[in-house]
Amino acid sequence: MITHLLIGLGNPGKSYAENRHNVGFMAIDMIRAEYGFGKESSKHGGLLSEGIIDGFKTYAFKPQSYMNFSGEPAQRVVSFFKIPLEHIAVFHDELDLAFAKIRIKRGGGNGGHNGLKSLDAHLGIDYQRVRIGIGHPGDKDRVSDYVLSDFSKDEKKTMDTLLKKIAEKTHFILANDSQKLLNALGMAAELNTKIEIKP
């Protein structure tokens, strides 16, 4: 059976759980709920669970090493299950993308994202990246506080709606068909409402 790996980036612990920087963890949790994944277990330096999506065995993994060191536990999982990079998708926050927008790309740069830098160093770059827009605070000196702050109530509601739609169409991600996913998320543009944060 072909095996896939979905990795969400974030920071461990309750104090970070609702942070913008943790939207990758949120995406993984939504997918796990959508497909009835098994209980998470602490393995390989992260939280690992397993399920079936569109007939494919799929592992979901949330590194618990803190964002900047995500690569090492991810590498352990990839090595243990011998998963090729083309079967790996990583969900992460993206500052330079408007709130509630997504972009999907295989390979490419890390855009200064420390979690991606760590993954690139340990895995290589040819995995699929699901970039989830969180908007930009407008000043580079405010970025650190911004990404480590929680979504507002309205933002969280909008983001949950988007993540639910992504979860429902995860089979397109496994199939490496980003265009079909974006087409299926036709409402994504409408989700980018008044709470959009302009760069």
**DSSP 3-state of 110:** coil
6: part of which helix (H) or strand (E)? strand 3-8
DSSP state of 109: -
The question of whether 87 is a catalytic residue gets the answer no
Helix axes 23-35 and 153-168, enclosed angle (nearest 10): 50
How many angstroms separate the CA atoms of 5 and 19, rounded?
23
Residue 135 has φ and ψ, to the nearest 5°, of 75, 175
Catalytic member of 21, 44, 87, 92: 21
Q: How open is the CA angle 145-94-159, to the nearest 5 degrees? A: 90
Cβ atoms of 5 and 57 within 8 Å: the answer is no
Other C-beta atoms lying within 10 Å of the C-beta of residue 23: 25
**DSSP 3-state of 68:** helix
List residues with catalytic annotation: 21
